[in-house]
Structure 1
Amino acid sequence: MWVTGRLWLDPAGRVGPEHASDPAQGQFFLAHAVRVVTRGQYPFYTDLMNFPDGVNLMANTSMLGLTLPMVPVTMLFGPPVSFAVMITVGLAGTAAAWYFVLSRYIVSSRIAAAVGGAFCGFCPAMLGHGNWHPNIVGQFLVPFIVWRVLVMCRPGTRPVRDGLILAALVIYQVFINEEILLFTAMACGVFLLAYVAQRRELLRPAWKPLLAGLAVCGVVAGTVLAYPLYVQFLGPQSYSGLKDAVPHHGNDIAAYFNAGSTTLAGDPVANKGLAPNYSEENAFFGWPLVVLLLVTVVWLRKDVLIRTLAATGLLFAVLSLGEELQWRGNDLFPGPWALLVHVPLLDSVVPTRFGLITSAVVGVLLAVATERALADRVPEPQRRLRRRAWVAALLIALVPLLPLPYREVGRPPVPSFITSGQWRPYVAPGQTLVPLPLPELGSPDGLRWAASQNLDFAIPRGYFLGPRNGVAGDPGGFGAPPTVTSNLLRRVAASGLPTPVGEETKRRIEDDLRYWNAAIVVLPVDQRRADALRTTMEDVLGPAERVDDVWLWDVRGLTTR
């Protein structure tokens, strides 16, 4: 509540700065989940966004594992409140889950587990995503997945039971965020390989129960997920890879030595350019923590677990730097990610997010190191001195990373024309309401309009991931393919200057409206650059009608003839 308190003051009217598209998309998905439960709507695809082509929801972060449980909250309080709940519970739940697993299965000290759990839940990488990406911060299943994988490495385990438990966790995580599941699998694989490489005698008794449990998990999870994954990879509006959609989305090396923007020592100005954007600050440990980690690894270098954690965290920190290693914006040389970016599945990964793995590993390492520092294995005077030194070092490293409340900015209210239902006489089933500016990355308000009305009207275009050219199987990109209408209105909205519309352009805009089966075009009166947008559209559609707090063009006569 400390971190998200400013959002809670007005969930519908506030949003994280710079990236309002992700929360608007999240609210749309929350409203979609309500329709799945109350109307039996198909969960994996919808044409209520990007009408008539639609959106492949399995190929997007539709978060059914979060949005479906939130249906009662969404129905009672609306999508903005549900979105705030998902963020708040995601951060707290991830910290609590790591504490639970660490305290019961990794370390014996609850203090050590609290240090590790708090860092895993509220590290700079998690804070960076929290204002925008509930699917990223909702990692409360991850520590349990890791734990169950480690359990299956023990001799005498029950592969069927353990495989079924892991399968249940994997299936649920798929419907929260597949990228986090992939990261978890990669981290477990690297960790186990690094550990066994140092303790080879453990391989013989461990590999059979592990493979047996993984086989059970694979069969069960594969059977349950076969159809959803088929829709994702081969269904309508599926795409292949995101490499070109997220170019250079890696961390700058210097990012690891700065504090996160949402922390006590953070400086958003100094951090600018070190990460793709504020919502992707996946590194940002700060110098004190980096130094503490180096000293800790040297101090406990004889501990196999510490060495393995350090190697795992370092590997993914390097991968998070992306295809080209940079230092404060200056290219140095190609990074190892350049060798992996074309591998299937990995070509859909945003490399900067490998920093999330490093952050979780650091949290576990801090927990283990804290337990070692508090252990009663040395005489009392030395023990007291060591404890004090470790507590002081933790304070120096972690106090600068204490989280601050999220910065929030205002966003336009949903027009009264929408919330009052005045739109309903105009829009019949199968028709669209066209918001201006058109819904897309950077102008997502139309998604919030639709979500506020339980998706009772469809909208063209939108903010989503889909095939770049609109053809299933093409490389992925953000939003629908550009059209004459979208390009024109984007320029007008950006410049604030009305653009004269020639006959050819007018004909193309009319064609787009027919393709969208538009009923009305709606422009809020107080919309930024409303005068320029209105003037431009009046060149095409004639004078607008003022209805309540919007300008309205009724185009049913144009699109239905």
Structure 2
Amino acid sequence: MKLRSIFITFSTLLLYFLFAILIFGVAWKNSFHDWLTHCIGGGTDSISFVWFLAWWPFAINHGLDPFVTKLLWAPSGVNLAWTTSIPSLAILSWPITAKFGPIASYNTLIILSPVLAAWSAFLMIREIIREWWPAFLGGYLFGFSTYEFGQLLGHLNLTFTAAIPLFLWVCILASKRSWKTWKTSVMLAMLLAFQFYTSSEIFTTFTIFLVAALACSYFFYATQYRVSLKTTFLGLAWGYIGALLLMSPILVAMFDSSKQFSGGSAPSIIGFGTDLLNYFIPTPVTWLGGSSMTFITHLFSGDYAEDGGYIGLPLLTILITIIMKYWSEQKIRILIIMLGIIVVASFGPILHVAGIPISTAPWILLYHLPLLGYALPSRFMMYAWLVMGIMVAVWVVDAHRKRDAIIRSGLTMLGLVCIFPNPNIYNNWSPTHVPHFFSSKTICRLMPKNTSLIVVPFGLSGDSMLYQAAAGMCFSMAEGYTGSVPYPFNLWHVVIPLTKGQYNEINPAHLASYISTYHVSRVAVLTGIPLEKNARNMLAESGMASRMTYGSVRLYERGHDFLSPPLTSTGVALQHEEFMTKWEASNQERNRRAIIKTCDTLGIPQGVPQDIYTWLLNHHLAH
């Protein structure tokens, strides 16, 4: 019996893996060579994760502090403890990185993310209902949800979510089998630490919703399950204490004042709540109907990677049925309440409908708390999908007649078809191109010691971090993309125009000062890029001279007329203040025009949305 159970368990894992192979076009469309040279999803976020996967093995092999790198934003560097540097996944995939390179590791982790998420949810749900088929459906609903496949467009840290269902599975096993507290605590501590080293954002938000779930459980079950709940609370408490010990290296790095190079500020989460229409209308991430609804979904205030709320009519019908039928049952009522809490929280501080701010939402009460300002509310839908997976599985298994079981299974499968990912997105991998100048490590021989390089396209607009990883991390750059621009680089007027390719707007003297201040000895310009002529003119006016061309790379050095002392810190600050004033005014005007355009598209009055936007500006929420 035990062997049969093990066989079924791993057969389920294989089945989920086959679904992923189908969606990602592995073998039948994308070859082994593509696995090494193409990125699933693509985009700058993907490249930054490829770099992180290369960085951790490199740092450990060379005896460097892995939480701080001076290869990016040199010479001051970046405190990676405050970035999404995924040390857990980098170490997990180290053998693949060593053998095939970081791109292969990235693609492997991306493919495994929905597979392991679905399988871990299956294990957890099966422990609750003891039936394979409903648990399989519930696991699929979580692992192959619109949230998961939206984040698969480039957010590896947010797709590798298997630790969350595994955490709940361990809690259920510990309760049912009366595990010793130390055993429960050790397993929970390892899962929590793994999650923190993968995504501190998910660790934080999971803790919040876990506390909410425990509060609901205690409120409803305090009398009949008081002893069991106290045991669970004790195991969780020791689990978190153990996790803090395991997390101590990164926590020390985060709060070590000597490593505070990260700088930057919390991103605005105002526009990253789940739009109310997103629950009913698919984005292009979804196969059925997604491409035909872009005239509405393009109005959503976030982007398609963050719009993970689409449920579809069949699943919505199932959820309404469950709420009506099972509200009187306490165990299901807790799930319903938690689903409601999560969905409302996912609206963010401001409720949007078709991108238009309608009113404030409850999350505004928590918006300014530490760490939560960094958490995008639309990402809370990951927890909603997990709760929905449990609810749907319970609903399917509760069919008392064969006919009802067939109908419920059929409606659930129809719901899964409605949220099936768009293969045209996920089996068309993005090619990466590393110029021979970098892959052959020619750059390593040309860079003087204690100097840095700038690559154009600059920062997040280019693939300079990929080139650095391909060259074996043999040179430093006075640029990069690790989230926000770190201090003191965020004070420089030249950084944003360089990133956006607005070369004509850059003061040549300011660029020369930037180059001098950060010991830049070479600037590499890729030929054939948009506005290449403007970039070359910008460098020439700054006193940089073109010395040589290596294939698709033109290399610049300081010329004889390069005479520019570094700006003082006061000068940089004043320059930055002037620029930010103009930039914020431009952003506000652009936002107002967007509101007018959206209102005209939907045929609604402009007054209320404009008033709400003005209120947001006055309360410093829209910056």
Q: TM-score range by the shorter chain?
A: 0.7 to 0.9
Check if 1:419 corresponds to 2:439: yes
Residue number in structure 1 paired with 2:542: 540
Instruction: Measure, in 1, the Cα distance between the counterparts of 2:406 and 2:518.
Output: 67
Check if 1:168 corresponds to 2:190: yes
3-state SS of the aligned residue for 2:359? strand
Cα deviations by residue, 1:60-102 (Å, 9 ceiling, x for unpaired): 1111110112122112222211111110111111111111222
Residue number in structure 2 paired with 1:219: 241
Q: Which amino acid aligns with 2:451?
A: Q
Residue number in structure 1 paired with 2:76: 53
Residue number in structure 2 paired with 1:190: 212
3-state SS of the aligned residue for 1:364? helix
Alpha-carbon offset, residue 481 of structure 1: 0.5
Aligned with residue 87 of structure 1, among 100, 110, 132:
110
Alpha-carbon offset, residue 300 of structure 1: 2.6
Instruction: Measure, in 2, the Cα distance between the counterparts of 1:294 and 1:437.
Output: 50
Aligned with residue 106 of structure 1, among 100, 124, 128:
128
Aligned with residue 389 of structure 2, among 343, 363, 383:
363
Check if 1:403 corresponds to 2:421: yes
Alpha-carbon offset, residue 523 of structure 1: 0.6
Instruction: Measure, in 2, the Cα distance between the counterparts of 1:462 and 1:41.
Output: 19
3-state SS of the aligned residue for 2:398? helix
Instruction: Measure, in 2, the Cα distance between the counterparts of 1:184 and 1:487.
Output: 34
Q: Which amino acid aligns with 2:90?
A: T
Instruction: Measure, in 1, the Cα distance between the counterparts of 2:545 and 2:263.
Output: 43
Instruction: Measure, in 2, the Cα distance between the counterparts of 1:428 and 1:556.
Output: 16
Alpha-carbon offset, residue 112 of structure 1: 0.6
Instruction: Measure, in 2, the Cα distance between the counterparts of 1:372 and 1:67.
Output: 42
Alpha-carbon offset, residue 399 of structure 1: 1.5
Q: Which amino acid aligns with 1:506?
A: P
Residue number in structure 1 paired with 2:91: 68
Check if 1:385 corresponds to 2:403: yes
Instruction: Measure, in 1, the Cα distance between the counterparts of 2:65 and 2:564.
Output: 27
The 5 Å alignment of 1:398-477 reads 398-405=416-423, 406-407=425-426, 408=428, 410=430, 413-440=433-460, 443-466=461-484, 469-470=487-488
Distance 1:344 1:238, change over 3 A: farther
Alpha-carbon offset, residue 361 of structure 1: 0.9
Residue number in structure 1 paired with 2:232: 210
Q: Indicate the larger mover: 35-44 or 482-491.
A: 482-491
Aligned with residue 552 of structure 1, among 551, 555, 562:
555
Q: Which amino acid aligns with 1:281?
A: D
Contact 1:70 1:82 in 2 (8 A): yes
The gaps in structure 2 that reach 5 residues or longer are 1-20, 566-623
Q: Normalising by structure 2, report the TM-score.
A: 0.79
Alpha-carbon offset, residue 239 of structure 1: 6.3
3-state SS of the aligned residue for 1:119? helix
Contact 2:440 2:471 in 1 (8 A): no
Instruction: Measure, in 2, the Cα distance between the counterparts of 1:2 and 1:45.
Output: 39
Q: Which amino acid aligns with 1:111?
A: W
Check if 1:528 corresponds to 2:551: no
The 5 Å alignment of 1:492-511 reads 493-494=501-502, 499=504, 505-511=507-513
Aligned with residue 178 of structure 1, among 200, 214, 230:
200
Instruction: Measure, in 1, the Cα distance between the counterparts of 2:356 and 2:237.
Output: 46
Alpha-carbon offset, residue 429 of structure 1: 3.9
Alpha-carbon offset, residue 499 of structure 1: 2.9
Q: Which amino acid aligns with 1:52?
A: P
Q: Which amino acid aligns with 1:81?
A: A
Residue number in structure 2 paired with 1:332: 358
Distance 1:322 1:302, change over 3 A: same
Residue number in structure 1 paired with 2:573: none
Contact 2:261 2:487 in 1 (8 A): no
Residue number in structure 1 paired with 2:16: none
Higher relative contact order structure (alpha carbons within 8 Å, sequence separation ≥ 6): 1
Count of matched residue positions in the alignment of Structure 1 and Structure 2: 533
Contact 1:444 1:462 in 2 (8 A): no
3-state SS of the aligned residue for 1:424? helix
3-state SS of the aligned residue for 1:481? helix
Of all paired residues, the percent bearing the same amino acid is 21
Q: Which amino acid aligns with 1:27?
A: V
Cα deviations by residue, 1:119-153 (Å, 9 ceiling, x for unpaired): 11100000101121121111121112112334555
Please identify which structure carries the higher helix content: 2
Distance 1:462 1:396, change over 3 A: same
3-state SS of the aligned residue for 2:453? strand
Q: Normalising by structure 1, report the TM-score.
A: 0.88
